[in-house]
Chain A
Amino acid sequence: MSSREIWTLVHGLVFGGGFLLLFSAGFQSLINLRAEHLSETGLRIQLRTLGAVAWIMAATAWVTVILGTYWVYPWYRAVPPKTLSSLQEYPKYFLTQSHHPGWHTFGMEWKEHIAWLVPILLTASAFLVTRFGRLLAADARLRRMVLFLFSVAFFGAVVAGTLGALINKAAPLR
């Protein structure tokens, strides 16, 4: 494996995959965060777990988008020399000049943009869980709002992760 392939794997599978795995734990904890269903000790334990999961997810999302944008993406969009006959090592140009330019014009364009919404929404969610956990347990509207932010972030991560995997299949970074 080349170093580019390893970095792409770290970006997509280690951080991106780890994030997606944590989502179900965070989502379930948020749904169950109801003051009327939890004892004082239960609430404290639930908030501690949820806070840890939420901050790990937020940190993972930041690392994934920053690594993806500033480390992996420049390889993807590198401009090939004019004399080059094969574009295999220049994924953006390889895709745009192939029979399926949509992998770039739709796939990569959507992936690179929607991914940046994820860490913003998750940082807000993590802040709310750690600082206003007890209020979230008591206030259904506030809790539903955090669930909404959390769910949108998950949707964004699924879109970015799936498109990233498919694009890397169509034009692997080597």
Chain B
Amino acid sequence: MQSNTDTTDTLTNGAAWAAILAASVGCFSFGLLVDLVELSNHVKTAMIFYTPVGDLSGKSTVAVAVWLIVWIALHRRWRGRNHAKAGMIARAAIFLVLLSMLMTFPPLFDLLG
């Protein structure tokens, strides 16, 4: 049986938009790290968490951590609420996801490197 809080959570859209925005922030942070590694040797070295994999190990681990932390934070803040400005969150999420795809596109990050 669901608790009252659970029922309220699933009827309001706050936690749903929290999941969407957090995923887009996670993707964006990965794209940002990909470009920062190309820009800076210090960042590249710092991102080598596991030598056989190289900097991909750090970039992916940090991005997943950012995604989960942002998700937990937004979920706690927005659950049980209804977002009147859902359209704005949707546009921000689409922008961040598309930007992250652009940032992981080699011709672009090769320009930075």
Chain A interfacial positions (CB closer than 8 Å to B): 65, 69-70, 73-74, 77-78, 105-106, 109-110, 112-114, 116-117, 120-121, 123-124, 127-128, 131-132, 134-136, 139, 141-142, 145-146, 148-149, 152, 156
Contacts and interface: CB of A to CB of B under 8 A. Distances in A.
Given A69-B60, A124-B22, A145-B90, A106 B11 contact: no
20 contacts: A65-B60, A74-B53, A77-B53, A77-B54, A105-B106, A105-B110, A109-B109, A113-B30, A113-B59, A114-B101, A117-B27, A117-B30, A117-B101, A117-B104, A120-B63, A120-B64, A123-B23, A131-B16, A132-B13, A152-B101
A173 B62 CA distance: 28
A152 B101 CA distance: 9
- Which among B13, B60, B67, B87 has the greatest number of chain A C-beta atoms within 10 A? B60
Given A117-B27, A121-B97, A145-B93, A73 B16 contact: no
Contact of B19 (A69, A109, A127): A127
Interface size class of B (residues with CB under 8 A): 35 or more
Contact of A110 (B50, B54, B97, B106): B106
Contacts of A131: 9-10, 15-16
B105 A110 contact: yes
A37 to B, nearest CB: 21
Nearest to A78: B52
A128 B10 contact: no
The A interface, classified by DSSP as helix, strand, loop or mixed, is helix
Nearest to A116: B60
B13 A142 contact: yes
A65 B57 CA distance: 11
Contacts of A145: 20, 90, 93-94
A69 B67 contact: no
Nearest to A109: B106
A76 B112 CA distance: 25
Nearest to A75: B52
Nearest to A119: B64
Contact of A139 (B13, B56, B94): B13
A124 B94 contact: no
B86 A142 contact: yes
Contacts of B106: 105-106, 109-110
A37 B32 CA distance: 42
A123 B71 CA distance: 12
